[in-house]
Amino acid sequence: MNIKKEILKLKEERNAVILAHNYQLGEVQDIADFTGDSLELARKATDIDSDVIVFCGVHFMAETAAILNTDKTVLLPAKDAGCPMADMITGDQLRELKAKHPKAKVLCYVNSTAEIKAESDCCVTSSNALAVAKSYPADQEIIFVPDRHLGGYTAEQLHREFILWPGFCPTHACFMAEQIAESRKQHPDALVLVHPESPKPVRDAADQVLSTGGMCRFALKSDNTSFIIGTEVGIIHRLQLENPDKSFFALHDRAICPNMKKIDLEKVFWSLKDMETKIVVPEDIAIKAKLSIEKMLSLS
Ligand code: 13P
Ligand code: SF4
């Protein structure tokens, strides 16, 4: 069986669209209708005519698409593809933190559960956290959950202090500034692009701190021809495809998010065939979570 042909046939029969995150396997990115970062995917999810969305990413991304599309079926081809960072804070923990800081506004990274989004004032992604945070008065107390690195980076840019939840991404937390120094020795002309989920010493040693979508746009526009990429290695597939004459080197070739790699062509096929796994968010949570996602979309 030609699996690509079968997927395209099923996609038509089901009136489905395939969305993929920049970290997905190359074969999945290649069959997707749209590949992007979390913000681009959330925006895309507000503008879909199809009845079915096959979301090739992790659970919180499919959940966000489901919250924005209550009239559509959202499928996650690997039901166990979660984001460990999103699971580092529970609703009860956030409610407790809010009770300690009753005047604070809560910004939640989109890498969070629907329950956390529902408890937050506004959602952010790695590409709009600064713009969203800037929209609050300078003296406004801010709680930022769950990523202490993106939260710390955003506060730092604004010369402010946030109340940070100590969450982190296990894939990005492993990067070290020493790896950048070593990589620069091997590729002296390369620019170093890192994701804001990286620890501060890594961000400080980089040339640019960007979301995955920001990295794609930067590489396309830049006159530079080589880049050291400090994020999950799956993005190199897209960078190389869009910039065939430029070179991309992984800051660390084992910077792999195991959850992002749970989806392959076979899983996409079975997802469309069996219409599994459907992502459904309880209505009371979805209504509140939608407000924080829509506020973010209106601010960025
Ligand atoms: P982006 O929004 O930059 O694509 O990041 C998503 C993510 O999960 C990073 O680890
Ligand atoms: Fe979550 Fe990190 Fe994987 Fe992104 S790379 S989905 S933050 S574990």
Q: Are residues 129 and 115 in the same domain?
A: yes
**Residue 255 is assigned to a structural domain of this protein:** no
Task: Establish whether residue 110 lines the binding site of ligand 2, counting it when its CB lies within 6 angstroms of any ligand atom.
Answer: no
Looking at residues 105-114, what average pLDDT do you find?
98
Enumerate the H helices of 139-253 as residue ranges: 148-157, 177-186, 200-205, 212-221, 235-242
Asked if residue 123 is part of any domain, the answer here is: yes
Kindly report, residue by residue over 22-44, the tens digit of the pLDDT: 999 999 999 999 999 999 999 99
Shared domain for 151 and 292, answered yes or no, is yes
Number of domains in the chain: 3
pLDDT of 300 > 90? The answer is: no
Q: How far is the CA of 103 from the centre of ligand 2 (A)?
A: 30
Q: What CATH number did the domain enclosing 113 receive? A: 3.40.50.10800
Average pLDDT over residues 3-28: 98
What's the mean per-residue pLDDT of the chain?
97
Please report the atom of ligand 2 found closest to the CA of residue 85: 1
Nearest CA to ligand 2 atom 6: 83
Our answer on whether the CB atom of 198 is closer than 6 Å to any ligand 1 atom is no
169 Cβ closer than 6 Å to some ligand 1 atom: yes
Is the pLDDT at 140 greater than 90? The verdict is: yes
Q: Are residue 23 and residue 95 in the same domain, yes or no?
A: no
- Answer yes or no: is the C-beta of 212 below 6 A from any ligand 1 atom: yes
**In whole angstroms, how large is the CA radius of gyration of the chain?**
19
Q: Is the CB of 22 under 6 A from ligand 1?
A: yes
With a 6 Å cutoff on the Cβ, whether 260 touches ligand 2 is yes
Say if pTM beats, i.e. exceeds, 0.75: yes
- C-alpha dihedral (273, 37, 175, 182), degrees to nearest 10: 110
Do 180 and 148 sit in the same domain of this protein? no
Average pLDDT score over residue span 100-119: 98
**Predicted confidence (pLDDT) per residue in 194-204, tens digit:** 999 999 999 99
User: Do 144 and 183 belong together in one domain?
Assistant: no
Which residues sit opposite 56 in a β-bridge?
20
Q: Is the Cβ atom of 211 under 6 angstroms away from ligand 2?
A: no
Are both 202 and 275 inside the same structural domain? no
Q: Output the CA angle 34-40-42, nearest 5 degrees.
A: 100
Atom of ligand 1 nearest to the CA of 196: 3
Identify whether 75 is part of a domain: yes
| DSSP annotation of 126 | T
Mean pLDDT of all residues in 123-134: 97
Cα 235 to ligand 2 centre (Å) = 13
